[in-house]
Amino acid sequence: MHFMWADTLLAAERAHLLRLIAWAGACVLLGTALLALLRVRGQRSDLLDRFGLFTALAGGTELVLAAWVLHGLELRDLAGATRLDRMLWLRIGLESGVILAGAVLLFAARRPVWRTGLMGGAIAMVVQGTALALLDLLLAAQISR
């Protein structure tokens, strides 16, 4: 990690959390809208139900966590910046695991018959994991400059 002023790091971290909140809010809105649309139309789709449900729940969880961290955000010293960097790479690793688990579940959902509910959840896992990993990689790139 290269030298970065504490206020610059704070601004980068705040921008990252605001991007996370925007993503999470969009997930809550879109997941809920999808579920509502299916109910209003009286349609039944296990794939879309599970996709919408997982998307809304994952977005809600991320929204609460990001808002909580944003509320307690403060300037970091070198040790705090190092902890942030390490936590960021841990999150990226965990998000990669979520992507891989979603891919495995997607593969498993097609054997021996198509289980569309499982597929919807697996697709949502891959989408969530990918988006969060990309957002975290963006902050990691800013920190390492």
* Domain assignment present for 72: yes
Long-range Cβ pairs for the range 40-43 (8 Å, 24+): none
If phi over 0 gives left and psi between -120 and 50 gives alpha, with beta otherwise, what is residue 113?
Answer: beta
Single-letter amino acid code for the residue at 2:
H
pLDDT score of 3: 53
pLDDT score of 114: 80
CA-to-CA distance for 75 and 96, rounded, in angstroms? Answer: 29
Nearest Cα to Cα of residue 56 among 128, 106, 109, 116: 128
Supply 121's token pair.
Answer: 């959840």
pLDDT score of 110: 83
* Domain assignment present for 1: no
* Domain assignment present for 100: yes
pLDDT score of 5: 86
Number of domains in the chain: 1
Chunk the chain into consecutive blocks of 10 residues (it has 145) and report each block's average pLDDT, rounded to whole numbers.
75 97 98 97 93 98 97 92 94 98 92 85 97 97 86
* Domain assignment present for 133: yes
Whole-prediction pTM value? 0.90
Length of the chain: 145
Domain that holds residue 63: 6-144
pLDDT score of 1: 46
C-beta separation of 101 from 125 below 8 A? yes
